[in-house]
Structure 1
Amino acid sequence: MADLRALLTDLGYTDVKTVLNSGNAVVTGRKADPTKQAAAIEAAITDKLGLDVRCLVLTTEHVRTIVDGHPFAEIADNGSRMMAHILAATPDAALLAEHDPVALDPDRAQLGDRVLYQWCPDGVLDAPQIATFAEKKLGVAVTARNWNTLTKLADLL
């Protein structure tokens, strides 16, 4: 995580904070296209750290929208079993109509603004794999965070 903090600082970001040992970081930086920022960070990680990883950059507003939009707050009583599957892009409407990932877990999943919420009361491993389905069928990159991690990130904003 120290290497990641140094790399992000070298790219011009300030107030770099990492969360856990999972590659999550909160930074202050330029008002630039998050997709372009993610590509630049991915390239720097490959170049300087020799790792090939996918990055998603979320704005403060998007993180807060995800947290504020929590559709299962009334029932999700374990943050490690509440998932936010964050989509790198808005899925194509026609593909979404044809391959709705929520249909895999209709009582416990809901689509939000570039996020699939999923309450997994029996554990994440026993829940339908809506993120894998979304990546494959909708053609968008997905990264998942449990609610504990997501709210830690939000608290740092």
Structure 2
Amino acid sequence: MKTHLVLLRGINVSGHNMIKMEALKSTLESIGFQNVVTYIQSGNVFVDSDEESPFAVGFQIKQEIFKTFGHEVPVVVIGKQDLENCFRNNPYLKEKEPDTKKLYVAFISKELASGALNDLKMSQVKPDEASIDASRIYIKYAVGAGKTRFDQKYIEKKLNVTATIRNWNTVTNLLSLFEDRNG
């Protein structure tokens, strides 16, 4: 049995794609996922499955959400190792006194090519900053996430990927929950 962290994009935001977490939990259990636990209302779900492939888990969940709730919801599935790597490799945490309220991570649906940072055309979103590591983009917003053009839509358009962004506080809590699950 493998634990997967399922990151749903764009649910329960500004009254759109509303899904109650208890209903989502029941739906995922009904299709065979075990130990389903949700974290906050924005689409963070832990599931246990015999399925090893994050892509297969994501596809199954995406299909079931559409079938049950009628919402086309992008899904990114990651494992504990990926989340641990996220902590080790965030370059902005190495700065003297980093402002973690301005740090975010975009989780991407596939491994990014080495030239992906150039493809983001960061000069168009300055003074925001970004750094790429495998299937993650570390983001440091100059002002804040609500006042930038550098959002998931921008990333998806420039890189032709599915992306979902979490603030550093959420990422930290998700890793803690992962550790609590797996001991």
TM-score range, shorter chain: 0.7 to 0.9
Aligned to 2:140: 119
User: 5 Å matches for 1:90-101?
Assistant: 90-93=111-114, 96=116, 99-101=119-121
Output the aligned Cα RMSD.
2.3
Q: Could you tell me which residue of structure 2 aligns to residue 144 of structure 1?
A: 165
TM-score normalised by L of structure 1: 0.85
TM-score relative to the length of structure 2: 0.74
CA distance in 2, matches of 1:93, 1:69: 16
Counterpart check, 1:6 vs 2:26: yes
Q: List gaps (5 residues or longer) in structure 1.
A: none
Structure 1 Cα separation of the partners of residues 73 and 128 of structure 2: 33
Aligned residue among 98, 102, 106 for 1:85:
106
- Structure 1's 51 and 23: CA in aligned 2 closer, same or farther, altered over 3 A? same
**Which amino acid is the alignment partner of residue 30 of structure 1?**
D
Q: Deviations for 1:22-51, whole angstroms, at most 9, x for unmatched residues?
A: 111112222422112111101111112222
The sequence identity of aligned pairs, in percent, is: 25
Q: In structure 2, what is the Cα distance between the partners aligned to 1:135 and 1:51?
A: 19
Contact 1:71 1:110 in 2 (8 A): yes
**How many aligned residue pairs are there?**
155
Counterparts in 2 of 1:93 and 1:77: CA distance versus 1, 3 Å:
closer
Query: How big is the shift at 1:130?
Result: 5.5
8 Å CA contact 1:82, 1:120 repeated in 2: yes
CA contact (8 A) 1:17 1:25 kept: yes
The Cα offsets for residues 54-103 of structure 1, whole Å up to 9 and x where unpaired, read as 11111111111112222111343233x21101110123456x27514555
> Which residue in the other structure is 2:91 paired with?
71
Which amino acid is 2:107 matched to? I
Structure 1 residue aligned with 2:154:
133
Q: Is the 8 A contact 1:102 1:110 kept in 2?
A: no
For structure 2, the 5+ residue unaligned runs are 1-20, 179-183
Q: Deviations over 1:125-148 (max 9, x none)?
A: 234516433311221111100011
Q: How does 1:39-50 map to 2 (within 5 A)?
A: 39-50=59-70
Report SS of the residue matched to 2:83.
Answer: helix
- How far apart in 1 are the matches of 2:108 and 2:81? 15
One-letter code of the match for 2:100? N
Matched-pair contact (CA < 8 Å) for 1:92–1:138: no
Question: Which structure shows the bigger proportion of residues in strand conformation?
Answer: 2
CA distance in 1, matches of 2:51, 2:126: 36
Q: Which moved more, 1:99-108 or 1:46-55?
A: 99-108
